[in-house]
Amino acid sequence: MAITSVDEIWSGRRGAVDDSFKREYERKFRIIADSTNEDAITVTAAMAAEGILMWGPYMAPNGSFDLFARCNQIEAEQSSDSPFIWEGRASYSSDAKPPDDIDPKTGGQNSQEENPLLRPPTISISTGTERKAAIVDRDGNKLVNSVGDQFDPPIEIDEPYMVLSISRNVLAINNFAMAWYIGTVNDSPFFGYPAEHVRLMSWSASSHYENNVFFWDEHFEFHAKGETLFTPAAAGAKPIDYGWGFVLLDQGFNELDANNLPKLMRDQDGQPYSHTILLNGAGAKLAAGQPPVYLLYYAHKKKDFSVFNLPTPNVPVTKKIPTPKNNNFQLPLW
């Protein structure tokens, strides 16, 4: 059994205002079920899932709203035309007064867990940008002028990245151990990102005392990158997904000789090249018509971020947080 759709309909919608500026509104919905066994409880729950909440503010489909008119009645009635169709109604009034434990902004419960250690973590996601030198275009072609020379200074572009901020209340912290994690990248999937795509950029903690409980407000900030380099089309060429790694175009003035020693490359006139020459990834000059070769490097140390026991959008926290006895380097401490 399931509700398959909840759609607002135009027939029966109404609104009114009197000389005391009291406002009333009514919205109507058609709810479709896949079973005749659905009832008013599941139907009104489906309406709530679409944002039709008791004590919630009036929000019209076109984006207009009246934040002071609150929903004070939600009804569901089975249609006489079909047992699979329900008609829903939501009534709003500016005279409706939510109970004291209802948040007037959202219509949700306004109560807060008294024990700060039992409150859920707070997760926020935003974006940032950084300037970086562009060595290739979007197709992986080397950025050069009309004679093949690289631009000096190189072209700079803005590159966005994701910022993941997580705050939580904990009984104890280990700032000495955290020093080993600042600036490191994930060694396994984290927050939906592959290994080496998320870096712990900052960590902070502040002490608090509330409701006879001493605790620390701990804050993590991660920067996540989904850097991908698309190389020019060629046999076997694949996009390079490198995250917090960095790629360098394989080029230079030297190539390896028969003894595997560097040798200055020269043009057809025997003169040293005045600009860098593309290499093939094995120390030799790149053959004509072949796509550029990129060298992938990682500079940041890898760490296991699962020791933090942080929540993710789809994975709830299940571990209990033990109390560290002293500030040592033994992990995990979370």
**Residue 116 backbone class (left: φ over 0; alpha: ψ -120 to 50; beta: rest):** alpha
Alpha-carbon distance 311 to 74, whole Å? 34
The structure's pTM equals 0.54
Do 208 and 121 fall within a single domain?
yes
Alpha-carbon distance 1 to 92, whole Å? 30
Q: What is the model's pLDDT at position 321?
A: 32
Do 163 and 127 fall within a single domain?
yes
Do 153 and 220 fall within a single domain?
yes
Q: What is the model's pLDDT at position 331?
A: 33
Alpha-carbon distance 154 to 152, whole Å? 5
Do 12 and 81 fall within a single domain?
yes
Residue 202 lies in a domain: yes
Out of 93, 127, 146, pick the residue that ends a domain: 93
Do 84 and 190 fall within a single domain?
no
Alpha-carbon distance 194 to 242, whole Å? 10
Q: What is the model's pLDDT at position 199?
A: 95
Do 158 and 220 fall within a single domain?
yes
Do 165 and 85 fall within a single domain?
no
pLDDT in tens, 285-317: 988 878 778 788 888 999 999 888 887 654 333
Q: Are the C-beta atoms of 84 and 36 separated by less than 8 Å?
A: yes
Do 78 and 139 fall within a single domain?
no
Residue 249 lies in a domain: no
| Domain tally, the chain | 2
DSSP secondary structure code for residue 64 in this structure: -
Alpha-carbon distance 82 to 87, whole Å? 11
Q: What is the model's pLDDT at position 332?
A: 34
Residue 156 lies in a domain: yes
Do 72 and 174 fall within a single domain?
no
Q: What is the model's pLDDT at position 235?
A: 41
Q: What is the model's pLDDT at position 112?
A: 57
Residue 247 lies in a domain: no
* Token pair for 241: 């997904």
Handedness of CA 260, 264, 270, 273 (dihedral sign): positive
Q: What is the model's pLDDT at position 231?
A: 53
Alpha-carbon distance 240 to 256, whole Å? 26
Q: What is the model's pLDDT at position 227?
A: 63
Do 196 and 75 fall within a single domain?
no
Residue ranges of alpha helices (H) inside the chain are 40-49, 175-178
**Which residues in the chain land under pLDDT 50?**
104-107, 233-236, 314-334
Q: What is the model's pLDDT at position 323?
A: 35
Q: Domain range for residue 211?
A: 117-226+300-308
Q: What is the model's pLDDT at position 316?
A: 36
Do 179 and 304 fall within a single domain?
yes
Do 180 and 126 fall within a single domain?
yes
